Amino acid sequence: MPSNVEIKARVSNATRLAERASQLSQSEGTVIRQQDTFFNCSTGRLKLRNLMDGSGQLIFYERPDCDGPKVSNYSLSTTQDPEGLRTVLADSLGVKGEVRKERRLFLVGQTRVHLDSVEGLGHYMELEVVLREDQRPEEGEAIARSLMKELGVGNDSLVTGAYVDLLLEGQG
């Protein structure tokens, strides 16, 4: 199962973070609109990501709910019928919640830097250090912590859980 090291943090100044990420990635980033539907499941999280272009991804992942860098193990399958798949999964498993966001993606080395504007929550940043098969999680954690510093993200901004959890807890 592929894995990455991930952190999530609140962003107080999205413009400044975008400028820093743009400098580090040497790009303006790619804007992606996404609607994630989370389904009830007994372990981990199961979500269908509608990429709003007729395609989607079904993603199962397991990750501890703690702040700071954490390892996420995941599996992914693509679909060309996200609405049809959503209906089947909703009917069979039930919907836990939905997240709508506009994501600006920057690539910095092996790290995906996401600057997210989440409907009902505000601005957040995610770092996903995609681990190679020969890499230990500790290496990914070191990369994530270093990038946090370069982006000006402090430990006091870190959040636990997924956006859907924050929405369900009413933290928006």
Give the pLDDT confidence score for residue 67 in this predicted structure: 73
Q: Establish if 172 belongs to a structural domain.
A: no
Residue 72: the pLDDT is 85
User: How do residues 32-91 score in pLDDT, each as one tens digit?
Assistant: 999 999 999 999 999 999 999 999 999 999 988 877 788 888 999 999 999 999 999 999
**118-152 confidence digits (pLDDT tens):** 999 999 999 999 999 899 999 999 999 999 999 99
> Is position 90 within any domain?
yes
| Count of structural domains within the chain | 1
C-alpha pair distances (Å), 106 with each of 24, 66, 88, 120: 9, 24, 33, 23
Residue 118: other Cβ atoms inside 10 A: 20
Q: Give yes or no for a contact between 8 and 125, defined as CB atoms under 8 angstroms apart.
A: yes
Tell whether 69 is covered by a domain.
Answer: yes
Which domain, by its residues, includes 67?
3-167
Q: pLDDT tens-digit profile of 78-123?
A: 999 999 999 999 999 999 999 999 999 999 999 999 999 999 999 9
Structure confidence at residue 153 as a pLDDT band (50, 70, 90): very high
Cβ–Cβ < 8 Å for 31, 52: no
In this structure, is residue 109 part of a structural domain?
Answer: yes
* Residue 99 maps to a domain: yes
In a domain, 111, yes or no: yes
Domain harbouring 108, CATH code: 2.40.320.10
Pairing of the two strands 111-118 and 122-130:
antiparallel
State pTM to two decimals: 0.89
